[in-house]
Amino acid sequence: MLKNYTKEGQKLPLFGVGPYIIYGTAFLNIIGIILLGYVFKIGILGAQWTLIFRIAGVLLILAGLTVWYIGALRSNMDESITENKLQTKGIYSWVRNPMYSGCWIALSGGLLMWHNVWLLVFPLVDWLIMTIALINTEEKWLLDLYGEEYAEYKKNVNRFIPWKRKIN
Residue ranges in the chain whose pLDDT is less than 70: 1-6, 165-168
Q: Using a cut of 0.85, tell me whether the model's pTM lies above it.
A: yes
Helix, strand, or coil here: 95?
A: strand
In this predicted structure, what is the pLDDT of residue 61? 98
**Residue 144 structural domain:** 18-156
Residue 7 maps to a domain: no
Domain count along the chain: 1
- Backbone conformation region of residue 84, classed left if phi is above 0, alpha if psi is from -120 to 50, else beta: left
Asked whether residue 1 is assigned to any structural domain, the reply reads: no
Dump pLDDT digits (tens) for 68-81. 999 999 999 989 98
Torsion angle, alpha carbons of 79, 64, 155, 164, to 10: 100
Domain for residue 25, yes or no?
Answer: yes
- What is the pLDDT at residue 1? 43
137 assigned to some structural domain: yes
166 domain-assigned: no
For residue 124, tell me if it sits in a domain: yes
Any domain includes 110: yes
